[in-house]
């Protein structure tokens, strides 16, 4: 073989090797973006978890975080098939503390989305930052009525007016021509909760027993009221046929304890947060016979709830979960579906209200997308806050322990059932026993 022949064959082999290498690089490059319309790069996703770790709602924040972690464990530490790094921050008592924590998560930690928000105050405070940054919040707590454009706000919890509205018609029938004394805390979440009841109760022909026919408001700032004696004296003397209230956290515990200490026998009805989670644990038998309205009870008989209760009790020495756990759990389920959807169809537009399904969702098929003005992600395969926000509108039905629900596309809150519950003893524990389904609300 001549030197010229050897050189020619070497050049030919080099050309083939180079072509193969280019092809391999091209294929592996695609796998990191949008090969087949899905992202398989395995790049870590950062999620910011912002819940009360201090202040009057710390116990609620602990439960929200526990529910989130339990679901993430079920999902193998991944969302949409991607590994997740969760960065936690303190919401505190809302406002300044919550805003500083959220700004750090978004600007320094570069999170894809926020999860949490224990109070309506926090959600109201954070919303301008969400719009400015394009980072969505999956809210797990109070949802205020003051958010006119909820593009970047998706709540797995409730719209604050709905809880009271759900029980108003029932209570109107119970009291007949009698009047109801109404009392609650003076902040945006409290006013939404109480006014939701009052507006619906009045529309049903009900009247308040309070002086002047208006609700009684207890101070929220600089600290929530925990001394209720002046109010309880008036309630006891009012001749009301029933009392309706909303309190949560430490205020809920003190209100019920002092209600019993004053020997008030007037039937007590409330938004479910009065006897939910840590409050019921602290009250025990003192909460017996209180009727509440809420969108969850541990006694609901469905497959998702049985699995959820089993997992929670197994991980928590037999203790029972509550709605705060459910909202954290559902936030992970929502993000799991939304991230998978955003990776599969990064340029698909957001669904619009015209595609909203019926109030009793039974299919897990995402809503059909319709052209929208909502901003969506950039390059094909790129996962951004805006592509995720658009995908959130297309996640369809969530198989939740509270019963299947899906987002309403007007307010981005669950279209869900509300239940009448009664505090009763179940073996050695006190529970909010499901009495009946009241109504379905959400938008």
Q: Which of 123, 49, 201, 195 is nearest to 411 (CA)?
A: 123
Q: Report the distance separating Cα 216 and Cα 371, nearest Å.
A: 46
Percent of the chain with pLDDT over 70: 84
Identify the pLDDT of residue 95: 87
404 contact partners, CB below 8 Å, separation of at least 6:
304, 361, 362, 397, 398
- Of the CA atoms within 13 Å of residue 131, those in its CB half-sphere come to 11
Token pair of 170, please? 């029932």
Q: Provide the pLDDT for residue 183.
A: 98
Enumerate the β-bridge partners of residue 114: 48, 137
Please tell me the predicted confidence (pLDDT) of residue 94: 80
Prediction pTM value: 0.82
- Longest Cα separation, the chain: 116
What's the DSSP call for residue 398?
A: B
pLDDT for the residue numbered 338: 98
The pLDDT tens digits for 155-211 are 999 999 999 999 999 999 999 999 999 999 999 999 999 999 999 999 999 999 999
Q: How far apart are CA 103 and CA 108, in angstroms?
A: 8
3-state SS class at 99: helix
Q: H or E element: which one contains 242? A: strand 242-245
3-state class of 415 per DSSP?
strand
Please write the tens of the pLDDT for every residue from 319-338: 999 999 999 999 999 999 99
- Output the CA angle 395-166-272, nearest 5 degrees: 85
Angle at 270 between CA 419 and CA 362, to 5 degrees: 20
Q: Residue 249 has which token pair?
A: 């956290």
**CA torsion, ordered 141, 145, 147, 148, to nearest 10 deg:** 150
pLDDT at 30: 34
Under-50 pLDDT residues of the chain: 1-40, 355-380
Q: Are strands 82-90 and 45-51 parallel, antiparallel or unpaired?
A: parallel
Q: In angstroms, rounded to a whole number, what is the distance separating the alpha carbons of residues 322 and 83?
A: 27
CA quadruple 109, 111, 114, 115: dihedral positive or negative?
Answer: negative
């Amino acid at each position: 073989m001549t030197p010229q022949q050897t050189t020619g064959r070497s050049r030919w082999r080099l050309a083939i090797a180079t072509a193969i290498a280019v092809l391999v690089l091209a294929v592996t490059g695609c796998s990191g973006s949008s090969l087949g319309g899905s992202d398989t790069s395995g790049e870590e996703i950062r999620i910011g978890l912002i819940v009360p770790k201090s202040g009057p709602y710390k116990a609620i924040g602990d439960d929200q975080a526990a529910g989130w972690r339990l679901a993430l464990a079920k999902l193998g530490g991944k969302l949409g098939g991607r590994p997740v790094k969760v960065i936690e921050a303190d919401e505190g008592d809302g406002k300044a503390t919550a805003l500083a924590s959220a700004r750090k998560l978004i600007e320094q930690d570069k999170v894809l989305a926020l999860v949490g928000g224990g109070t309506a105050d926090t959600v109201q405070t954070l919303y301008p930052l969400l719009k400015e940054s394009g980072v969505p919040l999956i809210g797990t707590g109070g949802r205020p009525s003051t958010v006119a454009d909820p593009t970047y706000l998706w709540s797995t919890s409730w719209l604050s007016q709905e809880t009271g509205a759900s029980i108003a018609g029932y209570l109107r029938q119970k009291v007949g021509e009698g009047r109801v004394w109404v009392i609650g805390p003076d902040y945006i979440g409290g006013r939404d909760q109480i006014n939701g009841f009052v507006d619906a109760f009045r529309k049903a022909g009900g009247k308040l027993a309070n002086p002047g026919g208006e609700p009684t408001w207890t101070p929220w700032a600089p600290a929530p009221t925990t001394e209720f004696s002046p109010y309880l004296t008036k309630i006891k003397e009012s001749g009301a046929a029933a009392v309706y209230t909303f309190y949560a956290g430490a205020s809920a515990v003190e209100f019920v304890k002092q209600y019993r200490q004053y020997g008030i026998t007037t039937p007590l009805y409330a938004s479910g947060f009065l006897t939910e989670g840590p409050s019921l644990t602290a009250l025990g038998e003192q909460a017996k016979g209180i009727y509440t309205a809420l969108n969850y009870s541990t006694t609901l008989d469905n497959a998702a709830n049985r699995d959820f209760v089993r997992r929670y009790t197994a991980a928590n020495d037999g203790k029972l979960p509550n709605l705060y756990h459910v909202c954290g759990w559902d936030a992970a389920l929502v993000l799991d579906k939304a991230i998978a959807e955003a990776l599969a169809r990064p340029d698909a537009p957001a669904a619009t209200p015209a595609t909203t399904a019926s109030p009793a969702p039974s299919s897990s098929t995402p809503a059909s997308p319709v052209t929208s003005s909502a901003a969506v992600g950039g390059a094909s395969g790129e996962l951004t806050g805006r592509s995720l926000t658009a995908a959130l509108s297309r996640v369809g039905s969530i198989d939740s322990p509270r019963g299947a629900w899906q987002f309403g596309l007007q307010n981005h809150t669950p279209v869900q059932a509300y239940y009448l519950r009664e505090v009763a003893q179940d073996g050695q524990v006190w529970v909010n026993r499901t009495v009946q389904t009241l109504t379905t609300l959400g938008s």
